[in-house]
Structure 1
Amino acid sequence: MSEWTIGILGGSGLYAIDALEEAQWVAVDTPWGPPSDELLIGRIHGIKFAFLPRHGRGHRLPPTDVNARANIDALKRAGCTDILAVSAVGSLREELPPGRFVVVDQFIDRTFARDKSFFGPGLVAHVSMADPVCPRLSAVAAAAAETAGADVTRGATYLAMEGPQFSTRAESGLYRAWGCDVIGMTGMPEAKLAREAELPYALVGMVTDYDCWRGGGEEVEVSALIAQLSANAGTAKRLIEALAEALPRERPASPIETVLDTALITAPDARDPALLAKLDAVCRRVLDAQP
């Protein structure tokens, strides 16, 4: 049992958490480059939070330029035990209208221009992504969203696209045929990197639009998105407060915290010291345990 420190990755429209007590912005350096912004660290109902606006304050960073490795590393260095991502998404289903909150449980990764792993030549690792989110954190987040007044869908497949352009109608229809429910630009490789860092991860998608699959001349426009983002952001802030109140005071261990025990494949004597130095936060636990 341990204490919680919840990392919050705030998506479009969520750039601060007003309820944080004794909040302060803290700069965190990482060997992977700068994260999207400083971390806003404080407490709600006694639970410690580290909030990171994924696109930076003022929404400076497009999806491809979000340094997901630096973001996850920074949250790990800040002592985070779990990560809750709150993200704007488009809907690929009629029954998921704008304003609905969707707790994602699966991903299809169609991004192609991003660094997707902390590991590489000099230290190879293969983590399982069969079940890419933490069911415990996802369940608590879903209940907190309902407490916050949101209409909530539990369980959905998230299509991660590269962006920054929105989908063509053909692409939107294809993703629906694949069985995807929502579409976004930031859930991957974020979820993969959280798993490599042994951090339980959950994602709550805030639906802003119907993408463009419905026909009838409808298409995604930023002006309409911004209006829905503003409404969703207030609910998201209440969600985070409700989450803090609902979490048990002591945090049970999670099997996700030990996934690297069976993931590292490179022999110890063949590992690259420079890469090992960069992994000092991400996998210090398992490297310290090995001879």
Structure 2
Amino acid sequence: MNGEMHTLKPEMLRVERGMEKKMKRTHTHTHTHIGKEAQGRFALEREKKKMKIGKDEEEAAVCMLLRRLFFFFFSYFSFSFFFLNSFCLDVVFVCGRFLYICACHLLTRNEKKGKQRRSRFNVFRAMSHCSNPHGSPVLVGVFGGSGVYQLHNLNEVKYYAIETPFGRPSGDICVAKVGGVDCAFLPRHGVGHVLNPSEVNYRANVYAMKLLGVRYLIAINAVGSLDSNYQPGDLVLVDQIIDRTTGRKSTFFEDGIVAHCDFAFPTSAAFRKLARDAVHRTFPGLAAGTEGWRLHEQGTSVTMEGPQFSTKAESLMNKQLGGHLIGMTTATEAKLAREAEMAYLVIAMVTDMDAWSDAPHVTEANVRKTLEQNVDKSRTCTLEVISALGKDFFADPAHSLLSHAITTSPSAISKEVRERLAVLLASCPHLAP
């Protein structure tokens, strides 16, 4: 790349220097970064296109003129064949042949230049999706659910606006230190809760976390209860999931590549154990039952499409399916986290009894009231889990999943697909772009 930059024309270098100065000024006035290398290169790319488009149009016009002259010579003198001597014919055909060769040469050169530029721009795109804007890997990520739009006790806070091949995430990602551990936080519904569960761009959210280097992903979810043992106010470390969503994009591997990931155990057992121990240290009264709420070490969560709550019949059906909890986001995130080779933990906050129960069931007012009581508790638990994780970054089976999950032959995977999934394929060197 450096060699290529040195061969640019003076006006190109001026454009590049101008863009670098602009980036430096922007960096000093905002905490939002979009991958410094990618931002400069894309801006330079746009300027290159603007400066070269005129030249391309001129060459195309010359090619067309030469071709028309050739056909004019050929057709005109063909009709005049019997009125010309052999010498004139030789001159005509030599001139026509010369014009034809010139036109073909220009067309071929133009086509080669176009291919080179397209290839170079594809590399720029791939690099923009592969550069970590934070620089160093951020190993821990947190998705905040309903009511949890920020974490407390954060140090060295920075925000990053990240572009992915799957679009923008739900918002800028906050990267900060929690107990000395770098952590990335993103409210999945956006700041101010502007995205319903079906509108959330789950692929962009998980991909952005992967881009930052996340290997341990914590999801905080608000859920309803399908079982009387799980009462409002309780916290649950979900171990199983039933997916009843429809039409969501829940895989990165499509459009030219196929992967079948092991999903028998959708959350990390080691992560749940670490979280259980951390929560019990933080709330010692849990063992004696004096905290006023319970921590459930396992539970099956049903993920519905939403955004409406269940009918009573649907709630009874979900209960009969074996669900203990019901929410609207867990399954989609869990599948994508597994494909991104992340150890996944769900901390579910029970906010209400779902519609199956004769007790006062789910209403927006009940959910909001219980959420307010649960938010501080879930935040505290999450911070303790992150601190505990900083002392034991355990190896998880999910961290080395893709090497055996991708079934598409390497020779059949296009360069475009490799570039689109470059961040995910980094653990498979034979598939990297």
Aligned pairs for 1:245-256 (under 5 A) are 245-256=387-398
Which residue of 152, 170, 178 maps to 2:295? 152
Q: Which residue of 2 aligns with 1:109?
A: 243
Please say if residues 4 and 82 of structure 1, whose CA atoms lie closer than 8 Å, have aligned partners that are also in contact. Answer: no
- 1:40 is aligned to 2:174: yes
Which residue of 192, 196, 206 maps to 2:339? 196
Q: Which has the higher strand share?
A: 1
- Counterpart amino acid of 2:406? L
Unaligned runs of 5+ in 2: 1-136, 284-292
Q: Which residue of 2 aligns with 1:177?
A: 320
Aligned pairs for 1:246-285 (under 5 A) are 246-285=388-427
Q: Which has the higher helix share?
A: 2
Aligned pairs for 1:1-291 (under 5 A) are 5-149=139-283, 151-215=294-358, 218-286=360-428, 288-290=429-431
Q: Look up the SS of the partner of 1:102 in the other structure.
A: strand
Separation in structure 2 between the aligned mates of residue 145 and residue 53 of structure 1, nearest angstrom: 22
- Counterpart amino acid of 2:413? R
- Counterpart amino acid of 2:304? M
Separation in structure 2 between the aligned mates of residue 181 and residue 167 of structure 1, nearest angstrom: 14
Q: Look up the SS of the partner of 1:108 in the other structure.
A: strand
Separation in structure 2 between the aligned mates of residue 252 and residue 289 of structure 1, nearest angstrom: 26
Between structure 1 and structure 2, the one with the greater Rg is 2
Separation in structure 2 between the aligned mates of residue 175 and residue 232 of structure 1, nearest angstrom: 24
Separation in structure 2 between the aligned mates of residue 176 and residue 186 of structure 1, nearest angstrom: 18
Q: Look up the SS of the partner of 2:424 in the other structure.
A: coil
Length, aligned pairs only = 287
TM norm structure 2? 0.64
Separation in structure 2 between the aligned mates of residue 140 and residue 104 of structure 1, nearest angstrom: 13
Q: CA deviation at 1:87?
A: 0.3
Q: CA deviation at 1:275?
A: 2.2
Identity %: 37
Separation in structure 1 between the aligned mates of residue 406 and residue 431 of structure 2, nearest angstrom: 11
- Counterpart amino acid of 1:110? R
Cα displacement string for residues 96-155 of structure 1 (whole angstroms, at most 9, x for unaligned residues): 110000110000100012101000131111001001111111122223333444620011
Q: Pairwise CA RMSD of aligned residues?
A: 1.6
Separation in structure 1 between the aligned mates of residue 390 and residue 165 of structure 2, nearest angstrom: 34
Please say if residues 199 and 257 of structure 1, whose CA atoms lie closer than 8 Å, have aligned partners that are also in contact. Answer: yes
Relative distance call for 1:131 and 1:82 in structure 2 (3 A) is: same
Q: Look up the SS of the partner of 1:247 in the other structure.
A: helix
Q: CA deviation at 1:70?
A: 0.4
Separation in structure 2 between the aligned mates of residue 245 and residue 284 of structure 1, nearest angstrom: 27
Cα displacement string for residues 181-213 of structure 1 (whole angstroms, at most 9, x for unaligned residues): 000000021100000011110111100000111
Q: Which residue of 1 aligns with 2:56?
A: none
Separation in structure 2 between the aligned mates of residue 159 and residue 34 of structure 1, nearest angstrom: 27
Between 1 and 2, higher relative CO (CA 8 Å, sep ≥ 6) is seen in: 1
Q: Look up the SS of the partner of 1:25 in the other structure.
A: strand
Separation in structure 2 between the aligned mates of residue 250 and residue 206 of structure 1, nearest angstrom: 25
TM norm structure 1? 0.94
Please say if residues 425 and 431 of structure 2, whose CA atoms lie closer than 8 Å, have aligned partners that are also in contact. Answer: no
- Counterpart amino acid of 2:255? P
Separation in structure 2 between the aligned mates of residue 260 and residue 14 of structure 1, nearest angstrom: 31
Separation in structure 2 between the aligned mates of residue 215 and residue 255 of structure 1, nearest angstrom: 42
- Counterpart amino acid of 2:280? E
- Structure 1 residue runs of 4+, over 4 Å off? none
Separation in structure 2 between the aligned mates of residue 4 and residue 34 of structure 1, nearest angstrom: 19
- Counterpart amino acid of 2:367? L
Q: Which residue of 1 aligns with 2:90?
A: none
Deviates more, 1:248-257 or 1:95-104: 248-257
Q: CA deviation at 1:215?
A: 2.5
- Counterpart amino acid of 2:268? C
Q: CA deviation at 1:290?
A: 4.6
Unaligned runs of 5+ in 1: none
Please say if residues 155 and 177 of structure 2, whose CA atoms lie closer than 8 Å, have aligned partners that are also in contact. Answer: yes
Deviates more, 1:242-251 or 1:65-74: 242-251
